[in-house]
């Protein structure tokens, strides 16, 4: 998934004349052959054009109230042949997204930070540490500290694996169509504990997190959009489903639906062997985009037939490249549970205004 690069390119352009870029190694555009490995592939890769570290989760406080959250860090390095600074060196840019859904109060807020590599943003190549402003993630494959906070919302969480990491595709290498492939690693079930920040209050919380890590060369042809589902079920199975649209002719055949069993074994089928029925839709007042809301997704070969219902209809990032990313309830077979859904390509790019959170 090529997430939200338009905003980042604009940030890079605005920084060209005020920041000193550094020499970068050539981008590697060939299909990867070496398998992914931990902890090294948690770290930044200077040869990668795009990479991200993605956390979504479901938290509860001591009173039993439920919350969803997202914290994601993006690192983007433009192709030197496509974009150079006046010094002839490629800039490296960063963006971070934060969102909190108060499910019982039906309230959603988000915020975005961005910056060019340097004192205000960066990612280490020799350890797991990524930061944009004072938002950061650091640690190793066994334990990670996740911190992101503005004046209204935030999290400070320790997350630890409750299952093993999953190396999607062939050793973590996943084809994405058009002769492209990138690395894709997940931990579909991590334990979380720490604090949630809401309007000046610190709320002790605990819960469950899904972690995604992707990196590589994503190509220069933008996709039209995608639908992505992560489902964490009460029987300790998980499902990860994605459908990528590169043109108006539908989804690329490399789109997948995968089941991860209680022992962490993954089984995948083509996503076109599943059925996707949209039960209801939601229209954004900010972007005028119309997004699928409630879904019925059935993948008989891997045992899934579930309703996926948003905890709150309005869970949209409206700035730049709009997308809907939200906490959901899952009802059906093989078990009930929770999930996150990401929907891109349902609203036009434009100056729709920033999310409700403020720095």
Of the ranges 12-16, 18-22, 287-291, which one carries the lowest mean pLDDT score? 12-16
The confidence score (pLDDT) of residue 357 equals 36
Domain membership flag for residue 359 = no
Q: Is the pLDDT of residue 168 over 50?
A: yes
Report the pLDDT value the prediction gives residue 123, as an integer from 0 to 100: 97
pLDDT at 358 (0 to 100): 34
Residue 192 sits in which domain range? 5-32+40-351
CB atoms within 10 A of CB 133: 15
Give yes or no for residue 6 having a pLDDT over 70: no
Tally DSSP H helices, then E strands, for the chain: 1, 28
Q: Is residue 358 part of a domain?
A: no
Distance CA 143, CA 155 (A): 16
247 vs 244 pLDDT, higher one: 244
Computed on alpha carbons and rounded to an integer, the radius of gyration of the chain in Å comes to 19
Residue 357 in any domain: the answer is no
Position 32 scores a pLDDT of 80
Of 188, 239, 233, nearest in space to 209 by CA: 188
> Is the CB of residue 329 less than 8 Å from the CB of residue 103?
no
> Rounded mean pLDDT of 105-121?
94
261, 240 Cβ separation under 8 angstroms: no
DSSP class of residue 170 equals B
Three-point CA angle 43, 47, 71, nearest 5°: 40
Instruction: Classify residue 9: in a domain, yes or no.
Output: yes
State the CATH number of the domain containing residue 223: 2.40.370.10
User: In whole angstroms, how far apart are CA 289 and each of 156, 247, 285, 322?
Assistant: 32, 19, 8, 9
pLDDT (0 to 100) of residue 332: 98
Assess if residue 80 is contained within a domain: yes
Mean pLDDT lowest for which of 67-76, 157-166, 265-274, 315-324? Answer: 315-324
Secondary-structure breakdown of the chain: helix, strand, coil percentages, each rounded to the nearest 5: 5, 55, 40
Predicted pLDDT of residue 90: 58
Whether 149 is covered by a domain: the verdict is yes
More confident site: 40 or 25:
40
Q: pLDDT tens digits, residue range 177-193?
A: 667 788 999 999 999 99
Contact assessment for residue 73 and residue 52, using Cβ atoms and an 8 Å cutoff: yes
Asked whether residue 10 carries a pLDDT value surpassing 50, the answer given is no
What CA–CA distances, in Å, run from 218 to 5, 49, 114, 286?
11, 7, 20, 29
CA distances from 99 to 54, 260, 314, 335 (A): 12, 26, 12, 27
CA distances, 308 to each of 34, 68, 248, 331 (Å): 36, 15, 25, 7
* Domains contained in the chain, number: 1
3-state secondary structure at position 274: coil
Residue whose entry in the numeric block shows the structure tokens 């019982």: 104
Q: State pTM to two decimals.
A: 0.89
| pLDDT tens track for 209-237 | 999 999 998 765 567 899 999 999 999 99
Q: Is residue 150 part of a domain?
A: yes
Cα 185 to Cα 38, 40, 52, 152: the distances in Å are 10, 12, 11, 32
CB 254 within 8 A of CB 177: yes
Q: Is residue 153 part of a domain?
A: yes
Q: Give the CA distances from residue 176 to residues 4, 257, 258, in Å, rounded to whole numbers and listed in that order.
A: 17, 13, 15
């Amino acid at each position: 998934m090529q997430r939200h690069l338009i905003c980042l390119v604009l940030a890079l352009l605005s920084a060209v004349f005020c920041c000193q870029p550094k020499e970068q190694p050539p981008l590697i555009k060939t299909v990867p052959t070496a398998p992914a490995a931990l902890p090294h592939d948690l770290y930044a890769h200077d040869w990668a054009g795009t990479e991200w570290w993605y956390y979504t989760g479901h938290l509860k406080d001591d009173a039993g109230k439920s919350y969803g959250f997202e914290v994601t860090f993006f690192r983007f390095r433009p192709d030197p042949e496509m974009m150079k600074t006046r010094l002839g060196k490629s800039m490296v840019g960063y963006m971070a997204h934060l969102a909190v859904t108060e499910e019982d109060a039906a309230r959603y807020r988000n915020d975005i930070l961005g910056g060019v590599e340097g004192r205000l943003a960066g990612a280490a190549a020799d350890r797991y540490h990524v930061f944009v402003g004072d938002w950061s993630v650091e640690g190793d494959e066994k334990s990670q500290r996740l911190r992101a906070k503005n004046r209204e919302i935030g999290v400070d969480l320790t997350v630890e694996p409750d299952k093993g990491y999953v190396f999607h595709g062939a050793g973590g290498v996943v084809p994405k169509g058009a002769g492209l492939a990138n690395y894709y690693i997940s931990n579909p079930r991590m334990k979380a504990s720490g604090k949630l920040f809401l309007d000046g209050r610190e709320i002790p919380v605990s819960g469950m997190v899904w972690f995604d890590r992707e990196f590589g060369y994503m190509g220069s042809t933008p996709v039209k959009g995608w639908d992505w589902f992560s489902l964490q079920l009460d029987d300790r199975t998980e499902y990860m489903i994605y459908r990528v649209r590169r043109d108006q002719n539908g989804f690329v055949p490399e789109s997948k639906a995968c089941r991860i069993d209680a022992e962490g074994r993954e089984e995948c089928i083509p996503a076109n062997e599943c059925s996707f029925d949209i039960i209801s839709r939601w229209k954004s007042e900010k972007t005028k985009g119309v997004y699928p809301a409630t879904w019925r997704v059935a993948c008989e070969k891997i045992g899934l037939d579930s309703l996926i219902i948003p905890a709150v209809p309005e869970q949209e990032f409206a700035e730049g490249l709009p997308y809907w990313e939200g906490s959901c309830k899952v009802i059906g077979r093989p078990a009930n549970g929770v999930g996150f859904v990401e929907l891109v390509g349902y609203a036009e790019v434009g100056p729709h205004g920033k999310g409700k959170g403020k720095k």
